[in-house]
């Protein structure tokens, strides 16, 4: 039996399109842990629940974790080697 990595739509026989993930869910969808389509000004989930006034996104941009500088890593390595 052959297995396929694609899902086909029966009516057309064409591969189904993958669902796109939203980059950042709105605050109510994030707190309820529900799917958010990211539509603005009000996502579909909040519109369906009647939360038009609650739907909003964080104003702050999520920053990537701070990476240690090469000098800091070198100092830590020297300290560990000295302790051994």
In-domain check, residue 11? no
Structural domain for 51, as ranges: 24-59
In-domain check, residue 19? no
pLDDT, one tens digit for every residue, the chain (84 residues): 455 555 656 666 666 666 666 678 899 998 998 889 989 899 999 999 999 999 988 765 555 666 667 788 888 999 999 887
Residues β-bridged to residue 8: 15
In-domain check, residue 13? no
Number of domains present in the structure of the chain: 1
Q: Which residues, in sequence order, are CB contacts of 15 under 8 Å at separation 6+?
A: 6, 7, 8, 9
Name the helix (H) or strand (E) containing 14: none
In-domain check, residue 78? no
Q: What is the CATH number of the domain that holds 41?
A: 4.10.240.10
In sequence order, which ranges of the chain are alpha helices (DSSP H)?
A: 27-32, 44-49, 70-83
The position carrying tokens 């519109």 is 47
In-domain check, residue 28? yes
């Amino acid at each position: 039996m052959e297995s396929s990595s694609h899902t086909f739509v029966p009516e057309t026989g064409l591969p189904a399109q993958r669902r796109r993930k939203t980059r950042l869910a709105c605050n109510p969808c994030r707190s309820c842990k529900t799917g958010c389509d990211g539509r603005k000004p009000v996502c579909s989930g909040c519109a369906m629940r009647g939360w038009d006034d609650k739907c909003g996104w964080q104003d702050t941009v999520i920053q990537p974790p701070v990476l240690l500088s090469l000098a800091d890593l070198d100092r830590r390595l020297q300290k560990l080697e000295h302790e051994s």
